[in-house]
Amino acid sequence: MKNFTKQLILSGLTMLSATYAMAQTPKSCDLQLTLTSPAANAVFEFGETVNIGVTIKNNGPAAIATTDTIYLNPVGTTQAFPITGVDIAVGGTTTSDYTLPNANETGTDQTFDLCMAIVPLASVTLNGVPVTITYEDANTANDQDCRSITLKTKPVSIFDAKTAKETLSLFPNPATSQVSFKIALDKTETVSAIVRDIAGREVMTKNFGQFQSGNTAALELNIANLNSGIYVVEVIAGDKKFIGKVTKKD
């Protein structure tokens, strides 16, 4: 078994449906792809690297030789990544590893199926030229595997607070245990709050339930169990957001 490591930022290889000229009669190989990583339902923080491990098994009847090239594709893209120079006997396997950085800056955590697939050679071109077809994989049912993962969005820091729709005033500030705030709403909304530390890590959440329009009562957060430091408080009410910062003192 051989191992190859690449990064998913490539390449001159693309996929398209095209006619091609076969230099030789392709042999028959039933290739099976399995994802070994990441784990199902894995969560990756912003900036963290997603490691993608792939195992390919040759179920035969012909062996894959070093002169054959297998192309893999992250489903949903037009990129194809080659595995070359490997012998895969009937019943044998090879592994390949890739990396994907979490660069999610959408403002929303993204949960999706990460899928890798074996690409039919008839669908691959290199610099616009169809690649040589040396094998055919008639069984495509086992050519793809998926994992559901979540990419956390770039966290809010105290330096992002000025970009919020509305500023949240918190009192007392600094605070040792309880911190209060008031918001003005045009209509009845469900109100919740998220507290993050200066590094953007979520340390506390609270759902206040329904808040009536015109209600001027103060809402409270108990921050007694938080370590001393600066925290960002984001209050969400329907499509409105209020962001402020509070200093916690012991």
- Cα separation of 120 and 80, whole Å? 10
Please give the single-letter amino acid code of residue 227. Answer: N
* CATH number for domain 3-151, candidates 3.40.228.10, 3.90.25.10, 3.90.580.10, 2.60.40.10: 2.60.40.10
Residue 31 is predicted with a pLDDT of: 95
Question: Edge-to-edge strand order for the sheet containing 178-181?
Answer: 170-171, 178-181, 219-222
Least confident of 17-26, 45-54, 94-103, 116-125: 17-26
pLDDT tens digits, 187-240: 888 999 999 887 778 899 999 999 888 887 889 999 999 988 888 899 998 888
Q: Please, are residues 116 and 33 in contact by the beta-carbon 8 Å criterion?
A: yes
Q: What is the pTM of this model?
A: 0.56
Residue 147 is predicted with a pLDDT of: 92
- Cα separation of 243 and 152, whole Å? 19
Q: What is the residue extent of each domain of the chain? A: 3-151, 158-248
Query: What CA–CA distances, in Å, run from 18 to 31, 41, 73, 143?
Result: 22, 36, 17, 20
Q: Percent of the chain, pLDDT > 70?
A: 86
Mean local confidence (pLDDT), 151-168: 64
Q: Which residues on neighbouring strands pair with residue 44, listed in sequence order?
A: 151
| CATH of segment(s) 158-248 | 2.60.40.3080
Q: Do domains 3-151 and 158-248 have the same CATH topology?
A: yes
